[in-house]
Amino acid sequence: MSEELRGVVVCHGALAGALVQAAEQISGLGDALIPVSNSGCDRDTLEDRILAAVDGHPAVVFVDLASGSCLVAVLKRLRSEQSVKVVTGVNLAMLVDFVFHRSLSPAEAATRAAAAGEKSIRTP
Amino acid sequence: MSIVLCRIDDRLIHGQVVIGWGRAMGIDLIVLVDDQVAASDWEQELYRMAVTPEIEVRFVTTADAARQMSEWQSNGKRGLVLTGDLETMAALRASSPDVVQRINLGGIHHRAGRRERLPFIYLTDQELGTLQALEAGGAVITAQDLPTTAPVALKALG
């Protein structure tokens, strides 16, 4: 069996920590997601934080905005990594879906998580 | 109009710049002066995504900026000149002192050797000295992350 995917959540301020905590509370799985904040660091340090969180493992990296410092930092260091895929617009629904599908390939898990996240956006 | 803000922000084009300052000051031109981004099409594409369509964005090298500052100062747009480090802004100040008269320290974050001066401004003593030299030469330097917060004079960061 291949290594399970690591989920890395990169957001502005305290958002990543809150999302990971909420996803763990809902799923009961406490070791699937690693939060990374851009607070209090320059671009180089943020890139180092992201690389440390991925740590060479196959991963899906979830980013809050589809532009800006977090996404630039992720893509700058990981865009050529075949074992890492990126999903923007992170929300709780996609993280909860992801933690239960970590045996998929990075591309499959990223596509699935993005679909779950989109599906959760409604105007009931 | 002309260049209305010269800002140092190591996160380059992001929400504070586009929304915070852009809306408040009616910015319709952002010039990012960064040699690395000027050579990277994909990074430029990402930064453009952060900017609303009514704002023009230009990516230039330090050398190109030095040549074009006077044009931006007189082209009728309300411009924001942005650098990711103080060395680049110091170079622009040296080449265009009539344009770079006021410098906004918007975001210089922690790295090894720097000390916190404000929650969004970290400087080594050498970097502080560089800024003090610029101010001694006539530039007005304040730290202010958003237009809704009070500017902090450079002398208060020492």
Q: What ipTM goes with this model?
A: 0.73
Tell me what pLDDT residue A7 has.
98
Q: How far is B19 from chain A (nearest CA, A)?
A: 12
User: In this complex, which of A40, A67, A75 lies closest to B109 when CB atoms are compared?
Assistant: A40
How far is Cα B45 from Cα A67, in angstroms, rounded to an integer? 9
pLDDT at B116: 96
The token pair at B4 is 């209305």
Q: How confident is the model at residue B138 (pLDDT cuts 50, 70, 90)?
A: very high
SS3 (DSSP) at A115 = helix
> Is A124 a member of any domain?
no
The residue in chain B having the minimum alpha-carbon distance to the alpha carbon of residue A42 is B109
H helices of chain B, where?
Answer: 15, 22-25, 35-38, 41-49, 62-73, 86-95, 125-136
pLDDT at A10 over 90: yes
Assess A1–B contact: CB distance below 8 Å, yes or no. no
> Which residues share a beta bridge with A35?
A9
Whole-structure pTM value: 0.85
Domain region containing A103 = 6-119
The pLDDT tens digits of the residues spanning A95-106 come to 999 999 999 999
- Say if A21 falls within a structural domain: yes
Question: HSE of A5 in the Cβ direction (CA atoms, 13 Å)?
Answer: 28
The per-residue pLDDT for B1 is: 61
| Nearest CB neighbour to A69, from listed B11, B108, B111 | B11
Q: What is the CATH number of the domain that holds A112?
A: 3.40.50.510
Residue A33 domain-assigned (yes or no) = yes
Which one, of B52, B54, B32, lies nearest residue B44 by Cα? Answer: B32
Contact list, B46 vs chain A (CB under 8 Å): 67, 71-72, 75
Task: Tell me the average pLDDT across A68-93.
Answer: 94
Question: pLDDT category, A68, cuts 50, 70, 90?
Answer: confident
Residue ranges per structural domain of chain B: 3-157
Q: What is the DSSP letter of B94?
A: H
Q: What is the pLDDT of residues B87-134, one digit of tens each?
A: 999 999 999 999 999 999 999 998 889 999 999 999 999 999 999 999
Tell me B62's DSSP state.
H
A95 occurs within a structural domain: yes
Percentage of chain B surpassing pLDDT 70?
99
B108 with B8: CB under 8 angstroms? yes
Mean pLDDT of A27-45: 92
Smallest CA–CA separation between A31 and chain B, in Å?
Answer: 29
Let me know if domain B3-157 sits in CATH 3.40.640.10: no
Q: How many domains does chain A have?
A: 1
Q: Judge whether residue B3 has pLDDT over 60.
A: yes
Contacts of A38-42 with CB under 8 Å at 24 or more apart are: A38/A10, A38/A11, A38/A12, A38/A13, A38/A69, A38/A70, A38/A73, A38/B11, A39/A12, A39/A13, A39/A14, A40/B109, A40/B110, A40/B119, A41/B109, A41/B110, A41/B111, A42/B10, A42/B11, A42/B108, A42/B109, A42/B110, A42/B111
- Dump pLDDT digits (tens) for B34-91: 999 999 999 999 899 889 889 999 999 999 999 999 999 988 899 999 999 999 999 9
**Which residue in this structure is represented by tokens 């993280």?**
A95
Contact A42 B14 (CB under 8 A): no
